[in-house]
Amino acid sequence: MNKIEQLAQELINWCGEQDNPGTKETHKRFYKAWEFMTSGCRTDIVSLFTTFEKGDYDQMVLLKNIELYSMCEHHLLPFIGKAHVAYIPGTKIVGISKLARLVDAYSRRLQIQERIGEQVTQALMDYLQPVGAACIIEAQHLCMQMRGVKKQNSVMQTSSLKGVFLQQNERGVAARNELMLMIK
Ligand SMILES: [Zn+2]
């Protein structure tokens, strides 16, 4: 057994389920599941940015309703929801599937929701140099639903805005309005 499998076995023992035949191989499945659920921290972010010249297009690019599965760093329990990622191109655009991969890369690790959005927009600003970048996330947190305050229907929304989306002028207001209209 590797260390993670040992951890799983200890947890099973602690629950008193070590003699339950159903848990015989659970330590291996636990390890595989956790390897996948934290695979984002082993993703090479830079490699996601295969970019193209933008040509004539200089309006907003939005990929919305990207499924998001992450693990809360405080409780090691899942939070699940969707992300909307937008940018306004500078000189380059990125393959649209890469926006989804970027969300996967930052959500498949121990996280808090606020940081995923920040990391997604910061990576866009750093590697794509757009005029602006935005990431809106809405998620339900099992650590709130299964335990703690037990609020089954609460949805947490966070937004990370950078560049033009943050500007306190006409252009900034227009960019934010367009984004909100497109996400609806
Ligand atoms: Zn939590």
Catalytic member of 27, 72, 119, 135: 72
Q: Using a pLDDT cut of 90, give the percent of the chain over it.
A: 90
Query: CATH 3.30.1130.10 residue ranges in the chain?
Result: 47-183
**Separation of CA 77 and ligand 1 centre (Å):** 6
Average pLDDT over all residues of the chain: 96
Q: Give the model confidence (pLDDT) of 16-60 as tens digits.
A: 999 999 999 999 999 999 999 999 999 999 999 988 998 888 899
Residue 95 near residue 89, CB atoms below 8 Å: no
Ligand 1 center–CA 158 separation, angstroms: 15
Tell me how many degrees the CA angle 133-177-180 measures, rounded to the nearest 5: 75
- Identify the pLDDT of residue 137: 98
| pLDDT (0 to 100) of residue 4 | 97
CA of 128 to the centre of ligand 1 (A): 32
Q: Which residues of 149-172 are buried (b: 16+ CB within 10 A; e: fewer)?
A: eeeeeeeeebbbbbbbbebeeeeb
Report, as an integer, the average pLDDT of 73-88: 97
Q: What share of the chain in percent tops pLDDT 70?
A: 100
| Confidence category of residue 160, pLDDT binned at 50, 70, 90 | very high
Does 84 participate in catalysis according to the annotation? no
Fold for 47-183, please state it. Answer: GTP Cyclohydrolase I, domain 2 (3.30.1130)
In 3D, which of 88, 74, 70 has the Cα closest to residue 137?
A: 70
Is 141 assigned a catalytic role?
yes
- Cα separation, 17 vs 61, whole angstroms: 50
Q: What pLDDT does 45 receive?
A: 96
d(CA 34, CA 76): 10
Residue range 112-151, pLDDT digits in tens: 999 999 999 999 999 999 999 999 999 999 999 998 888 8
Query: For position 161, what pLDDT does the model report?
Result: 98
Output the CA 72–ligand 1 centroid distance in Å: 5
C-alpha of residue 56 to centroid of ligand 1, in Å: 44
- Catalytic, out of 5, 138, 143, 178: 143
pLDDT at residue 55, as a whole number: 82
Residue 178 has pLDDT above 90, yes or no: yes
Largest CA distance in the chain: 67
Query: Is residue 138 among the annotated active site residues?
Result: no
